[in-house]
Amino acid sequence: MVATHVKRAFKYRFYPTDAQAAELSRTFGCVRKVYNMALAARTEAWTLRAERVNYNATSSMLTAWKKTEELAFLNEVSSVPLQQCLRHLQAAFTNFYARRAQYPRFKSRKKSRASAEYTSSAFRLQDGELTLAKMSEPLDIVWSRPLPEGAKPSTVTVSRDAAGRWFVSMLCEDPSVKPLPASGRAVGVDAGLENLLTLSTGEKITNPRPERRDRARLVKAQRSLFRKAKGSANRAKARRKVARIHARIADRRQDHLNKITTRLVRENQTIVIEDLTVRNMLKSGTLARAISDAAWSEFRSLLEYKAQWYGREVIAVDRWFPSSKLCSACGALLHRLPLHVRTWRCRCGTIHDRDVNAAKNLLAAGRAVTACGAGVRPQRSTPGGQSATKQEASQREP
C-alpha cells in the first residue's frame, strides 16, 4: 500500500567556493573519524566484556572526545553531522542484529563515500538559497528541477564523489507521488544481454552497453594511472580522470534504467520479472562484465520502489522456472536449450523467439501466482520439503 506522503530525495549538483570546499572536506574527515572511533569502541566492548553499546553511550563518548586535546579539532565543524553518523552506526548495528546486513565496516579515506548529513537545525533554506551550519555563504546549487511546492527538507546530505563532483541531496515529502489509475494491463519482462529487456508484447529494448561505449577510453586512462608514481600529484590527477569516465558510464546507465522503469510502471498494473541470482551469475568469467554493465539488480530495485509509490505490483517468478524452454503455446518442455539458440520450433509447430517466449511464460506464471494467492517471490522447496524462506527463518530463531 502506498503511503500518504512519500519522502523523496532531490539531488542537485553544486559548486562550492574554496572556503566551502575546505570546510566540507574537514567535516567529511571528522565524520569518518568519529564513525570509526565509535565502531572500534562498540566492537571492543562486545569482544572484551560482551557489552552492547548503544547510540546514547557513543554520544557521551563524542562529548568526552571533544574535550581532549588530541581530538579538539572536532569542535571546528558542525556537531550535527557527527551526531548523525552515530545514528547511522546505530542503524547499521540494528540491521546486523536483525540479520539484514553484515557487521559494520570501518570507513576508508580513499574508498568510502565522503558525505555529511545535516538536520533541519543545521541548515537554512530560504528563497532558493541553502546555507549550512558553520558557513556564511549559501551553496551555489544548480537547480535542475524544482522542489515540491511548499516542501521543507527534513535532512540535507552533502557528498563528493570520486570524480570530484559535489552534490547536495534534500529529503522531503512529495505530495505528487500517489497511486496511478488502475490500468488492468500486465506485462512479462525477460532480462537479457543482447536486448536489455524483452516484453511479452514482443517489444525488445536494446541494451545501450554504456561501459562498452567508453571501454577504450577507460582502458587508456587506467593504463595511464598505472604508470604514475604512487602518492604523486600526477597519479591523483590520473585517478580523477578514471573516476570521471566511470561516473559518465554510471550516469548513462542510471538515466536509461530510470526512463525504462518509469515507463513500465506508468503503462502496466502488474509487471512480472524473473528472480535472478545476479551475484552468482557474476562469477562467470565470460559474462560477468556484460552482466554488470546491464545492471539487472539496479533495474529491479528501481522497478520495485516505483511500483510501491504508484500502486503497481511487481511479481518475481522463481529463478528455477524454465521460462525459455517452455512452449508458451502448448506447454511442452524442452530438455535442453543452449544459450546460443535464439529461436526454436516446438513439436506443436510454433516457432519461438527465445526471449519473447520467456517473457510470455513469465507473464503466465505471474498471473498464476496472483490467482493462487501465492507470495510475490515463490521459493524453491528444499529436499526436506520446507521452503527456503521458512527454513531460513527457523535457522535465525534463537
State which H helix or E strand residue 205 sits in.
strand 204-206
Query: Grid coordinates representing 281?
Result: 551469475
Find out whether 16 and 166 touch, Cβ atoms under 8 Å.
Answer: yes
Query: Grid coordinates representing 253?
Result: 546507465
Question: Within 13 Å of residue 106, how many CA atoms lie on the same side as its CB?
Answer: 12
Query: Grid coordinates representing 15?
Result: 559548486
Find out whether 269 and 313 touch, Cβ atoms under 8 Å.
Answer: yes
Q: Does 274 participate in catalysis according to the annotation?
A: yes
The number of beta carbons lying within 10 Å of the beta carbon of residue 327 is 19
Q: What is the DSSP letter of 387?
A: B
Q: Does 190 participate in catalysis according to the annotation?
A: yes
Bridge-based pairing state of the strands 270-274 and 186-191: parallel
Q: What is the DSSP letter of 180?
A: P
- Decide: helix, strand or coil at residue 230: coil
23, 211, 304, 355: the active-site residue:
355
- Decide: helix, strand or coil at residue 331: coil
Ranges of H-type helices in the chain: 18-49, 55-66, 79-97, 210-213, 215-227, 233-267, 278-281, 288-294, 296-309, 354-372, 388-396
23, 173, 274, 304: the active-site residue:
274
- What's the rounded Cα separation, in Å, for the pair 103 and 82? 21
- Decide: helix, strand or coil at residue 17: coil
173, 190, 211, 293: the active-site residue:
190
- What's the rounded Cα separation, in Å, for the pair 64 and 10? 36
Find out whether 42 and 93 touch, Cβ atoms under 8 Å.
Answer: yes
Q: Give CA angle at 301 (390, 148), nearest 5°.
A: 130
- Which residues are known catalytic residues? 190, 274, 355
